[in-house]
Amino acid sequence: SFELTQPPSVSVSPGQTASIACSGDKLGSKYISWYRQKPGQSPVLVIYEDNTRPSGIPERFSGSNSGNTATLTISGTQTLDEADYFCQAWDRTTAVFGGGTKLTVL
Amino acid sequence: QVQLQESGPGLVKPSQTLSLTCTVSGDSVTSATHYWSWIRQPAGKGLEWIGRLHVYTSERTEYNPSLKSRVSISADTSNNKFSLTVTSVTAADTAVYYCARVRVSGTEDYMDVWGKGTTVTVSS
């Protein structure tokens, strides 16, 4: 079955660039969405169709997808960006989520 | 502003049936451009997609193959709600359950609005 793999954790200093990877077989042939989840809250869509930001999501969030890896990039990371991030793709008619990456900003 | 609100019992006994409802405001469950989905998350773990419903196309449903034999999603169009049923529950079904709106895209669909979630515990 199709699987998405994310690193469990990523750390970044405030103001620096955070990159969160998501890998899967031929992932570049699919479109990826990214969701941010803060503790005790529901997930929020931050990127869809690989690199499109919904309204209200800051420009510092961007995405890319090629080969077997998709990447969520947060430029000028702020402390309020600290959260869990999940990638998601569709395997035919089934939504598949990555295991999630805890982003720590310190 | 679109809002989704989950509701249902917080405690279900093993082997029984779990039933949850998602009330939609600011949009219609009969929308042609949206599916309506359920996702769950065990405490401290990742997200697991359960399935989705497209009311517009004769209530077409799609389910996670790992859960397909036990789950069902349906709509109550008169009250603008959709529901989830999970049969023969075990402790492994204990989780926060989210409902979400799925935007039908020309390229790939995405979940653009989520409810706040409701916690379900399976225990005797």
The 10s digit of each residue's pLDDT in A30-45 is 999 999 999 999 999 9
Give the Cβ contact number of residue A74 at 10 Å.
23
pLDDT at site B24: 98
Q: Show residues of chain B in contact with A98, CB under 8 Å.
A: 46
Average pLDDT, chain B: 96
Q: Angle CA(B58)–CA(B63)–CA(B69) in degrees, nearest 5?
A: 110
Reduce the DSSP state of residue B106 to 3 states and report it.
coil
Instruction: Indicate yes or no: CB of A48 within 8 angstroms of CB of B37.
Output: no
- Comparing B84 with B106, which gets the higher pLDDT? B84
Does the pLDDT value for residue B32 go beyond 90? yes
Instruction: Indicate yes or no: CB of A45 within 8 angstroms of CB of B110.
Output: yes
Q: How far is B12 from chain A (nearest CA, A)?
A: 22
Residues lower than pLDDT 70 in chain A? none
pLDDT at site A28: 96
- Residue B114 near residue B102, CB atoms below 8 Å: no
Instruction: Indicate yes or no: CB of A45 within 8 angstroms of CB of B47.
Output: no
pLDDT at site B16: 98
**Half-sphere exposure of A40 toward its Cβ, with a 13 Å CA cutoff?**
0
Q: How far is A73 from chain B (nearest CA, A)?
A: 19
Q: How far is B94 from chain A (nearest CA, A)?
A: 16
**Half-sphere exposure of A77 toward its Cβ, with a 13 Å CA cutoff?**
21
Does the pLDDT value for residue B33 go beyond 80? yes
pLDDT at site A6: 98
Q: How confident is the model at residue B119 (pLDDT cuts 50, 70, 90)?
A: very high
Q: Show residues of chain A in contact with B46, CB under 8 Å.
A: 86, 97-100
- Give the torsion through C-alpha atoms of B41, A92, B26, B96, to 10 deg: -10
Instruction: Indicate yes or no: CB of A94 within 8 angstroms of CB of B49.
Output: yes
End-to-end CA separation in angstroms for chain A? 36
Q: How confident is the model at residue B8 (pLDDT cuts 50, 70, 90)?
A: very high
d(CA A78, CA A74): 9
Give the nearest partner residue to A42 out of B65, B110, B114, using CB atoms: B114
pLDDT at site A74: 98
Least confident of A37-41, B65-69, B103-107: B103-107
d(CA B86, CA B76): 17
**Half-sphere exposure of A61 toward its Cβ, with a 13 Å CA cutoff?**
22
Q: How confident is the model at residue B2 (pLDDT cuts 50, 70, 90)?
A: very high
Does the pLDDT value for residue B106 go beyond 90? no
